[in-house]
Structure 1
Amino acid sequence: MNEAMQLLGFGEGGWGPALLSGTWVTLQISIGAFIVGILIGLLTALAKLYGNPFCQSFARGYTTICRAVPELLLILLFFYGGSSLLNMLLDYLGYGYVEIAGLPVAIIVLGLVQGAYASEIFRGSILAVHSGQAEAGSAYGMNQRKVFFRITLPIMAPHALAGLSNLWVNLIKDSALISVIGTNELLYTAKQAGGSTREYLLFFVSVAVIYYLITLISSYLLRKLEIHLRRWQPKH
């Protein structure tokens, strides 16, 4: 037990600082990708509902591809394929080789994938808003933009939050996929620690506990947010 505490501690030979740093990287990836996913998902949902035929087809195609192709494969394609294409372009322009960092790639790729799922959540939530609400806003002289931000968005937000909460929990777990490109997130750090000390079980169980705590705290905060957003709605 003492040896385990020393390995997980912050003293000499302890992996505590590395695990803490890995946890911070995991949170950066998850939060960044979640924000990107929400923005892309909302724009994609609006394109599906109100866009012209080209925008609708593009939005549906994007959603289908991101939901069909495994996230791990997308990460590898964006990281290695994107790196090769970028350096080919730089070489053509006369510039030197550039090393692409794993963190922004992780945020972009996971954000794109989450955006595809979020778009369906937003689309369903928008359709759940009664058309009479928007018509009433238009009757008061609001343009389409004001109707969306002042009427549709506040009404749809509580409905969308439940689905977005599930996406957030999945995103925390999916951030572990970034370990394949060498980004020092939580799981990659645990692998390093296990390889260095041969105590794989200790570090993997510890990381599982950290993921569980992050999910537990997130679920609590999101539940509080949902209650806050629903405070003005009638109780059934």
Structure 2
Amino acid sequence: MDTLLAYGPMVLSGLGLTIALSLSSLTLAVLFGLMGVWAKLSRNLFLNALGGGYTALVRGIPDLVLMLIIYFGGQNLINSLGEVSGLWDYVEISPFAAGTFAIGLIFGAYMTETFRGGFLAIDKGEIEAGLACGMSSGTRLRLIVWPQIVPLVLPSFTNNWLVLLKTTALVSIIGLQDVMYNANQSGRSSQQPFLFLLLAFAIYLGLTILSDLGLRQIRNRYRLR
């Protein structure tokens, strides 16, 4: 108990960083997902192939491998370009930025398929009816598409978010001092790694439960409409 009281605050100090990383990655994932579904549903063959290639490539690479490629390879690429062009000096990519981009890119591919399924499930006749009534694209999105697509994509969106939340633990491998990193450090310092892995387990489980409850309320709200 004394060990937990001594090192527990250190583990909890990474909680804010874990939440910030999760929300930042989710925002980026939604943006990538919207761009991906726009490309995959486009009649332009190049955009269609680009969207399909994005989802196929990203979903086929292990998350940790992609994160390491972005963190180390991306940094080398940017600095090589700066050296060749002479436009900038040495640039160091922060673990937070690399982790956010990597996780956002990964889950953007899953969000693409989530949004794609939702858009395809909407009756095209309703959109055409709105167009015939003179509705603008923004009005059609607000009155026809949005109320229907949210209940359709929320179950899959919830699953993506919960998996994303757990995937943030991978950033500890590139040195970001999140919950998992601090739990490992505390376990090594106290020589009780299992104790602090259990603490990390409890923290992630708590975040998952709270997230599920919050998203369930949103699902119930749209179900009552």
TM-score w.r.t. length of structure 2: 0.94
What is the distance in 2 between the residues matched to 1:205 and 1:49? 44
Q: 1:83: which partner in 2?
A: 75
What is the distance in 1 between the residues matched to 2:3 and 2:165? 25
Mapping of 1:30-179 within 5 angstroms?
30-92=22-84, 93=86, 95-179=88-172
Is 1:208 the counterpart of 2:204? The answer is no
Distance 1:171 1:226, change over 3 A: same
Distance 1:51 1:34, change over 3 A: farther
What amino acid does structure 2 have at the position aligned with 1:223? R
The higher relative CO (CA closer than 8 Å, separation ≥ 6) is in: 2
What is the distance in 1 between the residues matched to 2:179 and 2:207? 12
Q: 1:228: which partner in 2?
A: 221
Distance 1:94 1:115, change over 3 A: closer
What amino acid does structure 2 have at the position aligned with 1:164? F
Deviations along 1:19-57, one digit per CA (max 9) or x if unpaired, are 222111111111111111111112211221134111111
TM-score w.r.t. length of structure 1: 0.90
What amino acid does structure 2 have at the position aligned with 1:130? D
Mapping of 1:7-18 within 5 angstroms?
7-9=3-5, 14-18=6-10
What is the distance in 1 between the residues matched to 2:92 and 2:124? 50
The number of equivalent residue pairs is 224
Distance 1:51 1:39, change over 3 A: farther
What amino acid does structure 2 have at the position aligned with 1:8? L
Give 1:143 shift: 3.5
SS of the counterpart of 1:133?
helix
Q: 1:21: which partner in 2?
A: 13
Deviations along 1:142-192, one digit per CA (max 9) or x if unpaired, are 234432343112211111011010001101111111111111111111110
Structure 2 spans left out of the alignment, 5+ residues: none
Q: CA RMSD in A?
A: 1.5
Runs of 4+ aligned residues of structure 1 deviating over 3 Å after TM superposition are: 143-146
What is the distance in 2 between the residues matched to 1:181 and 1:51? 40
What is the distance in 2 between the residues matched to 1:133 and 1:119? 23
Alignment partner for residue 173 of structure 2, among 180, 191, 194?
180
Structure 1 spans left out of the alignment, 5+ residues: none
